Amino acid sequence: MGVSVAKCLLQNGYSVVAACGLRPPKEQPAVADILNVMGVKVYEVGNFNRTFSLGLIRKLYRIVKLENITHAITFFVTTDTRHIGIVAKLLGVPVVASVQIQIEFIGGGFAKIVKRCGFGLVYRNLVARALCTSDLIARALVSDYGVAQDRVEVLPNGVDTSMGLVLQPADRNQLRSELGVRSDEFLVLNVARLDEQKGQIHLVEAVRILSEHGLKIRLILVGDTTPNHAASIAYAEVLRQTVRQAGLHSTISFLGWRDDVLRLCAACDCYAHASLWEGFPLALVEAMSCARPVVTTDCMGWPPGFIDGTHGFVVRSGDPGALAKALLRVWELDSGRRECMGAACQELARARYDVRQVQQRFIMVCDDLARSAR
């Protein structure tokens, strides 16, 4: 999302400077490199994912002063907003926070209370405007953390829906064959990092239920662990072990990170999103833009404009049985009705979730803050 917003800011006459954190594994593209190619001046400042770092605050302070920054936009809910928020407050620079995910804190007892209080303090005092990817998040900021209603608005994530891919039957069949999927198998796709939050364990259980009832189903999991994150790595191993113990090694495939997600979306029969909590998942919208029926949990609340049974199905998060029933309902549709459901998804994605709408809203917010500062 940061890349698309930077592109739009440049197109609208803004100069853009980016402070980027740690680089991803070598096989994945680095945001810093993409921004550099676009003409954005990039500072690689190291690990943002720290509770509090005076060293990081000093780096950001020097950047804001040197580059004469007039607005700060953040895309990581907690740590980068906290650090740049402190700097921006000191220098009188407004912060626009893109709140991409529901606010959940790890730990219990006193530690969790401290984290919640700290989060509320940051968003009440350091953020000029919070752009939330779902109504659920926006309501939580106001009711749970005391952020003023007039500083919060809902702006769902968007993708470039013009890139939505619909494969010709021969190309689709070839790709499915390359993936080892037979013509009579119902192919379900999930794209997410391997992490407890993303709920893949419940999707695996749903597939086990359906397999035991004789459904010819395949599940492809696309995504990798969070680098150097012990909990994510452990979760991935639990997932693989669960698949092995259930005898589903020929039914469920782990593809790791891929750069052809849109092709995979176009090849599947149904996209399934199983997260326990979420902001507004881009992979879900990408699948919709490729005219695929979708099954998603209510991890983000109810997707704006989504009609159950027209675009797919929304089920309770953390409920494998509900996931299984929803997938079965898609499988039971004849090919014509399934194509109609996919076409409805594509239409909704283009109407409500196109990235150009998101970009323009960011521009309007920045322009509004600039006028207020005069």
pLDDT tens string 231-251: 889 999 999 999 999 999 999
pLDDT in tens, 56-107: 999 999 999 999 998 898 886 677 788 999 999 999 999 999 888 777 776 6
- What are the pLDDT digits (tens) for 159-182? 888 888 888 999 999 999 999 999
341: enclosing H helix or E strand: helix 335-352
Q: Where on the phi/psi map is residue 108: left (φ > 0), alpha (ψ -120 to 50), or beta?
A: beta
pLDDT at 126 over 80: yes
Q: How far is C-alpha 346 from the chain's CA centre?
A: 18
Is the pLDDT score of 278 beyond 90? no
DSSP per-residue codes, 56-125: HHHHHHHHHHHTT---EEE-STTHHHHHHHHHHHHHT--EEEEE-S-----S-HHHHHHHHHHHHHHHHH
Q: Any idea what the Cα angle at residue 188 is, between residues 274 and 343, rounded to 5°?
A: 95
- What is the architecture of the domain spanning 161-352? 3-Layer(aba) Sandwich (3.40)
Residue partners of 305: CB distance under 8 A and separation at least 6:
348, 351, 352
The structure tokens 């580059």 sit at 67
Buried b (16+ CB within 10 A) or exposed e, 62-90: ebbeeeebebbbbbbbbbbbbbbbbbbee
Provide the pLDDT for residue 158.
83
Name the E strands within 192-311: 217-222, 252-256, 270-273, 294-297
Percent of the chain at pLDDT exceeding 70 = 97
- Classify residue 36 as exposed, middle or buried by CB count within 10 Å of its CB (0-12, 13-18, 19+): middle
For residue 100, CA distances in Å to 131, 246, 280, 305 come to 8, 34, 7, 19
Domain ranges within the chain, ordered by starting residue: 2-158+355-373, 161-352
CATH number for the domain running over 2-158+355-373: 3.40.50.2000
**Beta-ladder partners of 297:** 315
Beta bridge partners of 299: 301
